[in-house]
Amino acid sequence: MFSVDFLLKGLLAPAATAFATALVAMRVSRGSRGIGAIAFAAGQALGTAWFLYGTGDWWPTRNLQWVPWVGIVAAAIGPTAIAMGLAVVERWMLVILAALFAAFVLVPHWPDLWPSRGVSIALFVAVTFALHRLTDQLTRRTSPRLVVSSMAATAVTAGLLIAATFSLSLGEAALTTAAALAGTAIALVIRRDEAAVRGLVLPYVLSVSGWCYVATIEPTPPLLPLLFIPAASLVLWLTAVGPVSHWSPRARWSISLLLLTATLFGLGAWAWFSVDHQADKNRATGWRMPVVIDVA
Amino acid sequence: MKLWSTIACSAVAVLGMAVVSVAATPVPVAGGKAALTPDNTRLQFVCAHLGDKPDPRTGTFGKFTGTLEADPAAKTIKSIALDFDATSLNTEFAKLTTHLKSPDFFDTREHPKASFVSKKITPGSAAGEFQITGDLTLHGVTKSITLPAKATFADGGVTVTSDFTVDRSEFGMKYGLEKVDKKVSLTVVIGEKNKVLAEGK
């Protein structure tokens, strides 16, 4: 399915770059909220450069080409958006501004877009703001290692589903983002750093939401299950509050991983079978095997 | 998907051996012009994989309009123009249809329209044969192509058949060139109802 070239340059190289950048940055400035975001941006930039090298299309010309740049811009804003020196309103404004930028470049101008561009932009900003707030809060309610692992798993699932259900090339581009997130996540799991995880939340939310949004609206009919993928990490709230939150860390980890895996598998199956379901519907409403003429 | 691929291959093989043929019905030419619609014109493309198992896949466009200018008395074709809605592309597999419409191939969101406009038509070596040269626009790229056509005039109408190939990479569709043949076979039959392989859009 994926070429060796892609596995090496599109996945391994961004992941290794992000991983190495995070480890080096942690040696220089441990506890800095920008470490995760910088590492992610480095991996994402390298992966994007590989995709665009030789195409001559460095400047995005359509909405889906903006997603990697949205991630890099969000990586620049993300650490500031959790700075303690800012008032809560100022931090929220930064997140909203980043989400607005993402929405403006990702929501297309199609005449048949539903909901309309204005409504879609408002919804994108509202949903990604809520996702950012809930994921950021989660890093303080449960293990940041668990949260960053769930972010990487969610991004990988999103990329694989986009490749499997819609477009391999778009899925590969999304997997490059996932690889940069995974490389960063591995470094942050090895060396626990809550501030770095919190700084990574905004680029994670906008990148993964961006890929899922463009892959949802491109096909006709839209692949709605993909829209729910970015929210998968929020299933960890079930173990972060309530009775399970008092259990031992090992039990919470186990249950959290089970819940996350079940959620991602469930959403994946929904996305996969929603395309198959269209085929079933077509058969029921007139699908027939073609009469093929002139085929050698 | 494997199961459907197997079923499709079997069906293609059986149908290929049977050589199903459908007689074309002349399209009326009024005032030197014939209107081309899916009711009287079939547009079909076939693309195969590279390697030992080509697994040819057939697709059509469900929505298009066009005009053929002809002189039935002189038995000549003067011009042909077709505008087709790329979003109406359909195949027998929903996943394949979705993939073909994606940025990997036709990118129908970005390039919803495609067209062919003839520029020069010259008679071929035999009666009723023509060489049609024109501009084919696919995926936002316009290229000049020359295709052979065979026309039959009867009952004040005309039927035209043309089989030709285009190189999809020349039209900017460069996805999977190592896996999917860059040569795409196209069939146009004027005088035959188009086939919808599945719900188009």
CB distance B70 to B29 below 8 Å: yes
| Least confident residue range of A141-145, A277-281, B119-123 | A277-281
Q: Which residue has the higher pLDDT, B195 or A4?
A: A4
Per residue in A78-127, pLDDT tens? 999 999 889 999 999 999 999 999 999 999 999 889 999 999 999 999 99
- The whole-number pLDDT of residue B178 equals 86
Q: How long is chain B?
A: 201
Q: What's B54's DSSP letter? A: -
A1–chain B Cβ distance below 8 A for any pair: no
Which of A98, A164, A92, A80 lies closest to A133 in space, CA to CA? Answer: A92
Average pLDDT of the residues in B72-92: 94
Residue B124 sits at φ, ψ, to 5 deg, of -90, -165
Structure tokens at A274: 């929603």
The reported pTM is 0.84
pLDDT band of B177, cuts 50, 70, 90: confident
- The whole-number pLDDT of residue B64 equals 96
The interaxial angle of helices A117-141 and A194-217, nearest 10 deg, is 150
Q: Do A168 and B22 touch (CB under 8 A)?
A: no
Find chain B residues with C-beta within 8 A of A219's C-beta: 98, 101-102
Work out the number of other CB atoms within 10 angstroms of the CB of residue B119.
Answer: 11
Structure tokens at B192: 């035959």
Q: Do B195 and A289 touch (CB under 8 A)?
A: no
Q: Do A292 and B87 touch (CB under 8 A)?
A: no
A284–chain B Cβ distance below 8 A for any pair: no
Per residue in A15-43, pLDDT tens? 999 999 999 999 988 778 999 999 999 99
Which amino acid does the sequence have at A237?
Answer: W
Q: Do A167 and B104 touch (CB under 8 A)?
A: yes
Work out the number of other CB atoms within 10 angstroms of the CB of residue A114.
Answer: 9
Mutate to test the interface with A, among B110, B189, B192, B194 (most CBs of A within 10 A): B110
Structure tokens at A31: 């506890």
A111–chain B Cβ distance below 8 A for any pair: no
Instruction: Chain A: give the shortest CA distance to residue B146, in Å.
Output: 19
Q: Do B16 and A289 touch (CB under 8 A)?
A: no
Work out the number of other CB atoms within 10 angstroms of the CB of residue B175.
Answer: 18
Per residue in A59-82, pLDDT tens? 898 899 999 999 999 999 999 999
Nearest to A218 among B44, B58, B102 (CB): B102
Instruction: Chain A: give the shortest CA distance to residue B164, in Å.
Output: 11
Which of A115, A36, A118, A121 lies closest to A71 in space, CA to CA? Answer: A36
CB distance A50 to A17 below 8 Å: no
Query: Rounded to an integer, what distance in angstroms lies between the CA atom of residue A277 and that of residue B94?
Result: 9
Please state whether the peptide bond connecting residue A111 to the residue before it is cis, i.e. omega within 30 degrees of 0: no
Q: Do B20 and A108 touch (CB under 8 A)?
A: no
Instruction: Chain A: give the shortest CA distance to residue B31, in Å.
Output: 32
Q: Do A292 and B92 touch (CB under 8 A)?
A: no
Average pLDDT of the residues in A55-59: 75
Question: Average per-residue pLDDT in chain B?
Answer: 86
B87–chain A Cβ distance below 8 A for any pair: yes
Per residue in A142-152, pLDDT tens? 999 999 999 99
Nearest to B195 among A108, A281, A290 (CB): A290
Q: Do B95 and A291 touch (CB under 8 A)?
A: no
The three state secondary structure string of chain A is: CCCHHHHHHHHHHHHHHHHHHHHHHHHHCCCCCCHHHHHHHHHHHHHHHHHHCCCCCCCCCCHHHHHHHHHHHHHHHCCHHHCCCCCHHHHHHHHHHHHHHHHHHHCCCCCCCCCCHHHHHHHHHHHHHHHHHHHHHHHHHCCHHHHHHHHHHHHHHHHHHHHHHCCHHHHHHHHHHHHHHHHHHHHHHHCCCHHHHHHHHHHHHHHHHHHHHHHHHCCCCCCHHHHHHHHHHHHHHHHHCCHHHHCCHHHHHHHHHHHHHHHHHHHHHHHHHHHHHHHHHHHHCCCCCCCCCCCC
Q: Which residue has the higher pLDDT, B75 or B95?
A: B75
- Angle at A248 (CA atoms; ends A244, A252), nearest 5 degrees: 50
Structure tokens at B14: 């059986």
Answer yes or no: is the ipTM higher than 0.90. no
